[in-house]
């Protein structure tokens, strides 16, 4: 599903964020990406949906060559990938239904198919009854549920999440994690950067630890492994 071979990323300010990374992630895996602040986790995640481009090395996501992909083809890649952010990134002028439908409207899906799929994912995240509400009328947890609904409405093979529980209280974070587990059980690959030790130590999955732009640990069912 995801392959990286000697991926190196140097930002224009000279900072090396990824220093020759090698990794393989299979379809259906659930992977946590952990590590200290500034280790390169977000850069690693951003490569997956071509928010950043490798400086050198080879990288494939669902068979798509990320390093050489033309900018004009990036929207095609992003249709195969769901992305969830710490700060939700919902469109404030659109209601819940419209925020989720938007992902399908841009690819010109048929209206009846849009309606069916949006209602189905809103039901899955438990927000069908709030479809007409606006993001500002929702709690943080509810907003994150909308963003998860949006990320899966295209039926992507992989969902990438950068600190999805970073802005949520502990109880809400567990709810959101249960949702990711459910999505993963249906066969979707999940790749999640997180600082949440309790969650990583309790909902066990593969753990990739990054330090100084390199993978320093890669353990199936591993623990968070950092203090504090
Ligand atoms: N757009 C950018 N331009 C220049 N340097 C950057 C950029 N984004 C990140 N960096 C640098 O690259 C390194 C890795 O940053 P990255 O955001 O990937 O780390 P992180 O592990 O996600 O950190 P955190 O846990 O704090 O979010 C850091 O030194 C950071 O300052």
Per-residue model confidence as pLDDT tens digits over 35-56: 999 999 999 999 999 999 999 9
Alpha-helical (H) ranges within the chain are: 41-48, 74-79, 96-105, 111-124, 140-152, 170-185, 197-202
For residues 43 and 213, give the distance between their C-alpha atoms in angstroms, rounded to a whole number. Answer: 9
Ligand 1 pocket test target in 7, 12, 15, 212 with most atoms within 8 Å of CB: 15
Residue 152 pLDDT > 60, yes or no? yes
Give the mean model confidence (pLDDT) for residues 110-131.
Answer: 94
Residue 141: partners with Cβ closer than 8 Å, 6 or more residues away:
168, 169, 172, 175, 176
Residue 109: per-residue pLDDT: 84
Give the mean model confidence (pLDDT) for residues 27-32.
Answer: 97
Regarding beta strands 158-162 and 81-85, do their DSSP bridges make them parallel or antiparallel, or are they unpaired?
Answer: parallel
For residues 216 and 207, give the distance between their C-alpha atoms in angstroms, rounded to a whole number. Answer: 11
Domains in the chain and their CATH numbers? 1-80+156-228 (3.40.50.300), 93-155 (no CATH)
pTM: 0.93
Write the DSSP symbol of residue 76.
H
Residue 120 pLDDT > 80, yes or no? yes
- Confidence at 106, pLDDT banded by 50, 70, 90: confident
Residue 33: per-residue pLDDT: 97
**CA quadruple 37, 38, 41, 43: dihedral, nearest 10:** 150
Residue with tokens 């890669």: 218
For residues 168 and 177, give the distance between their C-alpha atoms in angstroms, rounded to a whole number. Answer: 11
The residue whose CA has the least distance to atom 25 of ligand 1 is: 37
- Give the Å distance between the CA of 36 and the centre of ligand 1: 11
Maximum Cα interatomic distance, the chain, rounded to a whole number of Å: 50
Give the 3-state secondary structure of residue 28.
coil
Kindly report the average pLDDT of the chain as a whole number. Answer: 94
Residue 228: per-residue pLDDT: 55
- Give the Å distance between the CA of 213 and the centre of ligand 1: 10
Residue 54, CB-side half-sphere exposure with 13 Å CA sphere: 25
Write the DSSP symbol of residue 188.
-
Residue 112 pLDDT > 70, yes or no? yes
- Confidence at 78, pLDDT banded by 50, 70, 90: confident
Give the mean model confidence (pLDDT) for residues 173-192.
Answer: 95
- Confidence at 138, pLDDT banded by 50, 70, 90: very high
Could you tell me the CA-to-CA distances from 20 to 7, 44, 168, 200 in Å, in that order? 5, 11, 33, 25
Give the mean model confidence (pLDDT) for residues 26-30.
Answer: 97
The residue whose CA has the least distance to atom 24 of ligand 1 is: 37
């Amino acid at each position: 599903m995801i392959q990286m071979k000697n991926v190196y990323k140097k930002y224009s300010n000279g900072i090396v964020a990824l220093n020759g990374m090698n990794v393989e992630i299979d379809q259906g895996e659930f992977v946590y990406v952990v590590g200290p602040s500034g280790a390169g986790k977000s850069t690693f995640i951003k490569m997956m949906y071509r928010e950043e481009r490798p400086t050198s090395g080879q990288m494939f996501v669902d068979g798509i060559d990320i390093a050489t992909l033309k900018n004009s083809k990036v929207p095609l890649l992003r249709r195969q990938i769901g992305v969830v952010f710490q700060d939700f990134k919902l469109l404030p002028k659109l209601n819940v239904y419209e925020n989720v439908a938007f992902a399908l409207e841009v690819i010109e899906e048929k209206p009846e198919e849009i309606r069916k799929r949006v209602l189905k994912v809103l039901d899955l995240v438990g927000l069908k009854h709030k479809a007409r509400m606006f993001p500002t009328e929702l709690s943080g947890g509810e907003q994150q549920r909308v963003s998860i609904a949006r990320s899966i409405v295209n039926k992507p093979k992989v969902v990438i999440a950068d600190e999805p529980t970073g802005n949520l209280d502990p109880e809400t974070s567990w709810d959101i994690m249960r949702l990711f587990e459910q999505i993963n059980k249906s066969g979707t690959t999940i790749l999640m950067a997180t600082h949440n030790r309790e969650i990583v130590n309790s909902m066990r999955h593969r753990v990739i630890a990054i330090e100084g732009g390199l993978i320093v640990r890669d353990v199936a069912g591993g623990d968070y492994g950092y203090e504090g």
